Structure 1
Amino acid sequence: MQDSAIAVVRELFECALLRPELDENRLAKLVHPDYRQQADGRSLDYADFIKHLRHLKQTCSRVDLEILSWAEQGERVFTRHRVAADKRDGGRVSMLVIAEFRVQDGMVRACDELTHMLSGTTEDRDLGSRH
């Protein structure tokens, strides 16, 4: 039985954000090679997404994520989630994210998200898409 779309998105969050190391082999099973992401007006393809995650792992020592609400309709998942991170330089950043994921055949194919910085420095404003 194939996992629900929200289960795939939750697994992506776990793999991409919550684990201290980036498991690119596991990620390749969750994210389609043709992946496209729009994040605050920036476009990322699969390679850019991997660069973004590597950058997050280098910048942040710890990331917490809380799904505040979600809705699933077929292959589409909408989430409103809060991401808080401890930065390696001693800073802390917190973002509220509203995202639409498209999941097909057990893989995330696309994500369209808007982020709102709740706390952090001006330089952290683009942390949700920086790579």
Structure 2
Amino acid sequence: MQDTAIAVVRELFDCALLRPELDESRLARLVHPDYRQQADGRSLDYADFVKHLRHLKQACHRIGLEILSWAEQGERLFTRHLVTADKRDGSQVRMLVIAEFRVRDGMVRACDELTHMLSGAAEDRDLGSRH
């Protein structure tokens, strides 16, 4: 049975954000090598995405994520989710994210997302794509 897009993306969130350490071998099973991401006008390829996740792990000691709503149609998954990051400097960032994922054959192929900072320092506005 093929994984649904929401199941794959939930596993990606767990691997990439919710776990304290980044498991790059698990990530490679979830994200296609040709992965492309558009985040607030910035383009990331697979290598940039990994750098971005490494940066998040260095900057934040905890990241929480709540999927507020989602819709799935074939290879496309749309989510509206809330991300809360507790940074190592003691500050916190809260962002609302609207994202479209493309999932095929159990792997995330692409993501196009818009982030809206709800709270946090102005210099962290690009935290969703910084690498």
The residue number in structure 2 matching 1:81 is 81
Q: How many residues align?
A: 131
**RMSD over equivalenced CA pairs, Å:** 0.3
The equivalent residue for 1:55 is 55
Tell me whether 1:39 sits opposite 2:36 in the alignment. no
Match of 1:117? 117
Return 5+ residue gaps in structure 2 as ranges.
none
Q: State the shift of 1:20 in Å.
A: 0.2
Partner SS state of residue 10, structure 2: helix
With normalisation by structure 2, the TM-score equals: 0.99
Deviation at 1:21, TM superposition (A): 0.1
How far residue 2 of structure 1 moved from its aligned partner, in angstroms, is 1.3
Supply the distance in 2 between the matched residues of 1:90 and 1:4 (Cα, whole angstroms).
37
Percentage identity across aligned positions? 86
Normalising to structure 1: TM-score of the pair? 0.99
Partner of 1:26: 26
Unaligned regions of 5+ residues in structure 1, if any?
none
